[in-house]
């Protein structure tokens, strides 16, 4: 049972047009699969936010995505094959080109009017295939500012689920209060939110590491007294975390690399959210550089694991209430406004 449906009479909570609304699938880039999972001349179907989609790769390596049920009698196109760079349906061999047009029907020459399929924008980035719930995307897959135009090494993490909507789990990045209360990081952090465009926000947090507890003193010796991290949210379907900002080795040398992670979010069905963590670092030169990059990816995974477990307790046990936010929660109020302005897509469970 959805938590939103509990205590409805005794603990009323505000509802929103988009925010925390399981019926609305907003525009945005959604994770399909790792690039390597779809080889040339192959087709697979996927359930993305409840929508059944067929994605195929032609002989040149190009990708295309369309609705996943054949326009003839509705067979799953994912069990078909790729013939002459077209998807061929398993059942009666109707063929679809990458624009979703049916171009061949073995049983007759004439192609019926209602035989084409909706197509969806698709992009390959960070070793992942991404899909957008419209034929054209309003912007490209989120760019990590620190990694712009750089060669990167990527490691896909294990996907996991949460019971709350991803609009809620993403509050994690803009709630510095919980760093103290949940993660026991006793730092006062300044937070700055900036709108990059109508679908992207940047959140920057920084502060001074206290000098009281043993762990704080130790941290100050190794990484200096300053610490910062930033988040970039795109459409609420992608979040890029850059951490270890402003740190200096032994407080002096500006050589500690930042740590980058990307989180991809999608709802599976009401009450189930899928999160895919993606670990990413720039590809360093030489064998030592390469090994360091690999080590850095492993350390990123370790750091993520620690925080994930602590945060999990919150995000699997919450019926989010936006009706009692305090002044200190202002970034969250701002974020809710941002989410409510996002456009709903045709994958939504209700017609907009």
Closer residue to ligand FES in complex, CB, 52/284:
52
Please tell me the distance from the alpha carbon of residue 151 to that of residue 153, in angstroms, as a whole number.
7
- Residue 124 binds which entry of Fe ion, ligand FES, none, CB below 5-8 Å type-dependent: none
Residue 99 CB, nearest approach to ligand FES (Å): 18
Q: Per CB under 6 A, does 330 bind ligand FES?
A: no
**Least distance from ligand FES to the Cβ atom of residue 89, Å:** 3
CA-wise closest residue to 347 among 125, 131, 139: 131
User: DSSP characters for 124-147?
Assistant: EETTEEEEESSSS-SS-S---GGG
State yes or no: residue 91 binds ligand FES (CB under 6 A): yes
Least Å distance between CB 144 and ligand FES?
Answer: 41
Contact region with ligand FES (CB under 6 A), list: 19-27, 89-97, 123-131, 197-205: 89-97
Closer to ligand FES by Cβ: residue 91 or 292: 91
The values of phi and psi at residue 229, to 5°, are -145, 160
Shortest distance, position 88 Cβ to ligand FES, whole Å: 9
Task: Report strand pairing: 128-132 vs 152-156.
Answer: unpaired
Q: Given the rule CB under 5 A, which residues bind Fe ion?
A: 172, 311
Which string of DSSP letters, residue by residue, matches 175-198?
A: -THHHHHTT-----EEEEEEEEET
Q: How far is the CB of 300 from Fe ion (least distance, A)?
A: 15
DSSP H helices, the chain, are 166-169, 177-181, 214-223, 286-315, 330-340
Q: Work out how close the CB of 172 gets to Fe ion at its nearest, in angstroms, rounded to a whole number.
A: 5
Out of 52, 72, 248, 301, point to the residue binding ligand FES (CB under 6 A): 72
- In the complex with ligand FES, the residue whose CB is nearer, 88 or 345, is 88
Structure tokens at 133: 């719930």
CB of 37 to ligand FES, least distance (A): 24
Residue 133 CA from chain centroid, whole number: 14
Contact 144, 253 (CB under 8 A): no
Give the up-direction half-sphere exposure of residue 5: CA atoms within 13 A in the CB hemisphere: 5
Partner interacting with residue 311 (select from ligand FES, Fe ion, none; CB below 5-8 Å by kind): Fe ion
Residue of the chain from 33, 75, 294, 299 that contacts ligand FES (CB under 6 A): 75
- Give yes or no for residue 83 binding ligand FES (CB under 6 A): no
Largest pairwise CA distance in the chain: 81
Q: How far apart are CA 244 and CA 278, in angstroms?
A: 17
Is 73 among the residues that bind ligand FES (CB under 6 A)?
yes
With CB cut-offs between 5 and 8 Å by kind, which of Fe ion, ligand FES, none does residue 205 bind?
A: none
Residue 8 · residue 29 · CB < 8 Å: no
92 lies in the site for ligand FES, by CB under 6 A: yes
Mark residues 93-112: x for contact with ligand FES by CB under 6 A, - for none: -x------------------
Q: Identify the helix (H) or strand (E) that includes residue 275.
A: strand 272-282
Q: Which residues bind ligand FES (CB under 6 A)?
A: 70, 72-73, 75, 89, 91-92, 94
């Amino acid at each position: 049972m959805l938590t939103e449906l509990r205590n409805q009479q005794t603990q009323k909570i505000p509802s929103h047009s988009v925010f925390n609304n399981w019926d609305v699938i907003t525009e945005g880039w959604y994770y399909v699969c790792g690039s390597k999972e779809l080889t040339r001349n192959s087709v697979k179907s996927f359930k993305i936010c409840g929508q059944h989609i067929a994605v195929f790769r032609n002989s040149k390596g190009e990708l295309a995505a369309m609705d996943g049920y054949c326009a003839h009698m509705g067979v799953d196109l994912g069990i078909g094959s790729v013939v002459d760079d077209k998807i061929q349906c398993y059942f009666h061999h109707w063929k679809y080109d990458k624009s979703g047009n049916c171009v061949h029907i073995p049983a007759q020459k004439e192609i019926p009017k209602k035989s084409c399929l909706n197509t969806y924008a698709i992009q390959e980035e960070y070793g992942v295939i991404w899909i957008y719930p419209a034929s054209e995307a309003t912007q490209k897959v989120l760019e990590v500012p620190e990694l712009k135009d750089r060669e990167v090494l990527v490691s896909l993490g294990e996907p996991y689920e949460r019971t709350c909507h991803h609009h809620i789990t993403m509050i994690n990045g803009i709630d510095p209060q919980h760093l103290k209360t949940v993660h026991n990081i006793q730092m006062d952090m300044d937070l700055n939110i900036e709108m990059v465009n109508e679908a992207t926000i940047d959140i920057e947090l920084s502060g001074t590491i206290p000098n009281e507890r043993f762990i704080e003193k130790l941290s100050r010796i190794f990484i200096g007294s300053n610490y910062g991290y930033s988040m970039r949210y795109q459409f609420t379907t992608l979040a890029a975390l850059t951490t270890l900002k402003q740190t200096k080795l032994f407080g002096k040398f500006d050589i500690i690399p930042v740590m980058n992670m990307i989180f991809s979010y999608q709802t599976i069905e009401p009450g189930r959210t899928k999160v895919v963590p993606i670990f990413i670092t720039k590809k360093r030169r030489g064998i030592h550089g390469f090994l360091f990059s690999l080590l850095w990816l492993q350390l990123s995974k370790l750091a993520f694991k620690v925080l994930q477990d602590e945060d999990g307790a919150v995000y699997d046990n919450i019926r989010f209430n936006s009706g009692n936010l305090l002044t200190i929660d202002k970034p969250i109020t701002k974020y809710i406004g941002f989410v409510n302005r996002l456009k709903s897509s045709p994958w939504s469970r209700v017609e907009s």
